[in-house]
Structure 1
Amino acid sequence: MKFSIERAVLVKAVSQAQSVVERRNTIPILANVLIEASAEGVSFRATDLDTEVVDSAAAQVERPGATTVSAVMLNEIARKLPDGALVQIASDDAAGRLSVQAGRSSFSLATLPREDFPVMASSEYSANFRASAGVLRRLFDKSKFAISTEETRYYLNGVYMHVAKAEDGPMLRCVATDGHRLARIDAPLPVGADDMPGVIVPRKTVGELRKLLDDDEAEIAVSVSETKVRFATPTITLTSKVIDGTFPDYSRVIPQGNARKLEVDATDFARAVDRVATVSSERSRAVKLSLDQDRLVLSVNAPDAGAAEEELIVAYADDPLEIGFNAKYLQEIASQVDRDNAVFMFNGSGDAALIREGSDQTAVYVVMPMRV
């Protein structure tokens, strides 16, 4: 195998691949990236057995072939080469080495046979559709903060993507929850997605997917089966197993009867929460919201550290209310709000709060209260 590739193209392709690789693993080949050169160009493939990414890149191929080399090592080398460099890569299968040359720099890296590299089995996908990168980014970006990190509740360790019935008809919906907060985001259902099975996309896959969604106008081909999900651009394909579990009935925890309405500038609110939380203990980070006519007082009282209070002018015309929340949860939800105003719907001091982005019904957040 022998080919020449621009340094910038190499960096982009290898960085995407190496991010899938687990730094600590007991199978040496899983630390490697599979490089395949053909007349069409070069592809870089990496996997951790649950997730697989393939990045295709343009290159001048002199001799087709394939080999595997340390993904992290190749990424570090490519990153440190000078901008604009033309990189020559060649493999010597007999010696088990890969040479990387650019200008006066040259490297010789150990390789492992391509035959040892595991390739994720192909799957029959029951639903195939296309969606814009902007739509998918909104669905996953706005929900992923609520993914649980508790490994014992593995079925909450991802984003539940499914077809849901809404007032405006069927929607493509993403939901995530950790039992303390919940995010539910809707988008118009793409053509071809009607029969899509509901799948839980793992946290790691959601992070890798974000790298495919930078261009709002790009079309992403999405394929879904009971066991796998695949996202593809013209140059990158990300395939992942889905979490084998049943996502809980989230609709039961979304409050329906909350009547007390607070409307507040989302940015001002997030900053005020951040300021008063400075004195709270890391263990609980509880902030109290005291509501009265068009007035919100945020306060924290940490006996071992101090106290803080900040007042905001808001739109509130219901009965006075005092309720406490985890400061981190409030900040994370407020940071998702794209509109100027966040709308909070309360019931009582012991009940979950519902948060929306202005009048937008397609983004709903729920947060459980804390005792303060």
Structure 2
Amino acid sequence: MKVTIERTALLKSLGHVHRVVERRTTIPILSNVLLSAGGGGLQLKATDLDLEVTETAPADVGRPGATTLPAHVLYEIVRKLPDGAQVSLETGEDGGQLQLRSGRSRFSLQALPESDFPDLAAGDMAHSFKLGAGELKRLLDKTQFAISNEETRYYLNGVFLHVAETDGQSLLRAVATDGHRLARLETPAPAGAAGMPGVIVPRKAVAEVQKLIEDPEAEITIELSPAKIRFTLGAVVLTSKLIDGSFPDYARVIPTSNDKFLTVERKDFSDAVDRVSTISSERGRAVKLSISAGKLVLSVTNPDSGSAVEELEVDYDGAPLEIGFNARYLIEIASQLESDTTLFKMNDSGSPTIILDREGASALYVLMPMRV
């Protein structure tokens, strides 16, 4: 293999693919990135056996071929080369070493044969549709914070994507929950999404897609089968295994009879929660909301450090109510909302509360109360 490529193009492609490579792995080939030089340029591929990212970069191919190199080492070398440099990559006859040349720099890198590199992308994708990059990023950004970290409940370790029919309209929904809070965002289902299986996209794949979306105006092709999902963003293709499990019937935990409505200025509320929770215990993190006509009192009591109280003017005309929540969860949900005001739909101190921008908003959050 012999190929010459601009340092900027190589660094950009390596930046996209090398993140997938685990720094600690017992399988040496998984530490490497696969470089394949051919008519289309230089293709780079990395995988951790659950997730695979490929990207093709424009390059001058002198001799087609393929090899694998340590991903993080190669990324660091290219990152430290000067801007505008040309990078030459060439393997010898035996393929065991690759010579990297750029200006006066010379590196001889240990290579592993490409025949050892695993291929995750094999298989037929039965469903395919296109979605705006900005819309997909919004679906993931607004829900991923609620993904569970509990490995025992592996079926909650991702974002559930599925199509739902509501009032005669097809909606593409993203849902995540950790049992304490639930995030649900929906957008009109794109053409081709009807009939797709409900799939759970793993946390790592969600994070990589979020990082890969650089142009919100671009269009992303999404293909999926019951076991895998593939995102194509221009020259980048990300393929991921799906979580093999059943997502719980989340609709059952979204209350339908909450009749106490509280409207509050979003930023004022979030800042107040942040202030009073300063003295809460790291373990408890509970803040009490005492709600009455036109008034909300936030309070925290910590036997070890004291107490804090803050009062806010609100729009509320229901019966007085006291309810407790995890302060961090309240702040995280508030940060996902987009309007200046936040609507809380409550029932009683022991029932889940709905939080949203306004009635009928596309983003809906459910938060379980805490005892205070």
TM-score, normalized by the shorter chain, greater than 0.5: yes
Q: Aligned ranges for residues 52-131 of structure 1 at < 5 Å?
A: 52-94=52-94, 96-131=96-131
Q: Does 1:6 align with 2:6?
A: yes
Question: Is the deviation greater in 288-297 or in 251-260?
Answer: 288-297
Q: Aligned ranges for residues 324-363 of structure 1 at < 5 Å?
A: 324-363=324-363
Distance 2:22 2:355 in 1: 37
Q: Which residue of 1 aligns with 2:47?
A: 47
Cα pair 1:340 1:358 within 8 Å, conserved: no
Distance 1:326 1:88 in 2: 55
Distance 1:8 1:358 in 2: 45
Distance 1:93 1:285 in 2: 63
Q: Which runs of 5+ in 2 are unaligned?
A: none
Q: Secondary structure at the match of 2:173?
A: strand
Read off the aligned partner of 1:248 and give its amino acid letter: P
Q: Does 1:28 align with 2:28?
A: yes
Distance 1:225 1:306 in 2: 55
Q: Secondary structure at the match of 1:45?
A: strand
Read off the aligned partner of 2:77 and give its amino acid letter: I
Distance 2:36 2:95 in 1: 18
Cα pair 2:95 2:113 within 8 Å, conserved: no
Q: Which residue of 1 aligns with 2:254?
A: 254
1:94-150 superposed Cα distances (whole Å, 9 cap, x missing partner): 261122222222221111000000011522222111000011111111111110000
Q: Which residue of 2 aligns with 1:214?
A: 214
Q: Does 1:313 align with 2:331?
A: no
Distance 2:93 2:132 in 1: 42
Report the alpha carbon displacement of residue 225 of structure 1 after superposing the two structures with TM: 0.8
1:1-41 superposed Cα distances (whole Å, 9 cap, x missing partner): 22222222212111211111111111100010001111211
Read off the aligned partner of 1:369 and give its amino acid letter: P
Q: Secondary structure at the match of 2:24?
A: coil
Cα pair 2:16 2:212 within 8 Å, conserved: no
Q: Secondary structure at the match of 2:204?
A: helix
Q: Which residue of 2 aligns with 1:141?
A: 141
Report the alpha carbon displacement of residue 194 of structure 1 after superposing the two structures with TM: 0.4
1:163-196 superposed Cα distances (whole Å, 9 cap, x missing partner): 1122351110111101000001101010011011
Cα pair 2:52 2:121 within 8 Å, conserved: no
Distance 1:192 1:93 in 2: 48
Distance 2:93 2:133 in 1: 40
Q: Which residue of 1 aligns with 2:283?
A: 283
Question: Is the deviation greater in 360-369 or in 110-119?
Answer: 360-369
Cα pair 1:126 1:195 within 8 Å, conserved: no
Read off the aligned partner of 1:201 and give its amino acid letter: V
Percent sequence identity over matched residues?
55
1:185-210 superposed Cα distances (whole Å, 9 cap, x missing partner): 10101001101111000001001111
Q: Which runs of 5+ in 1 are unaligned?
A: none
Read off the aligned partner of 1:358 and give its amino acid letter: R
Read off the aligned partner of 1:326 and give its amino acid letter: N
Q: Secondary structure at the match of 2:20?
A: coil
Q: Which residue of 2 aligns with 1:240?
A: 240
Report the alpha carbon displacement of residue 93 of structure 1 after superposing the two structures with TM: 4.7
Distance 1:91 1:235 in 2: 25
Cα pair 1:97 1:108 within 8 Å, conserved: yes
Distance 2:181 2:60 in 1: 51
Distance 2:355 2:168 in 1: 20
Cα pair 2:67 2:95 within 8 Å, conserved: no
Distance 2:30 2:73 in 1: 13
Q: Secondary structure at the match of 1:268?
A: helix
Distance 2:323 2:84 in 1: 57
Read off the aligned partner of 1:277 and give its amino acid letter: S
Question: Is the deviation greater in 8-17 or in 329-338?
Answer: 8-17
Read off the aligned partner of 1:230 and give its amino acid letter: R
Give the superposed CA RMSD: 1.3
Cα gap change, 1:84 to 1:254, in 2 (>3 Å): same
The alignment of Structure 1 onto Structure 2 pairs a total of residues equal to 372
Question: Is the deviation greater in 117-126 or in 221-230?
Answer: 117-126
TM-score (norm 2): 0.97
Read off the aligned partner of 1:83 and give its amino acid letter: D
Report the alpha carbon displacement of residue 314 of structure 1 after superposing the two structures with TM: 1.8
Question: Is the deviation greater in 226-235 or in 94-103?
Answer: 94-103
Distance 1:150 1:10 in 2: 37
1:59-93 superposed Cα distances (whole Å, 9 cap, x missing partner): 12222111000111111112222222222222225
Distance 2:95 2:60 in 1: 23
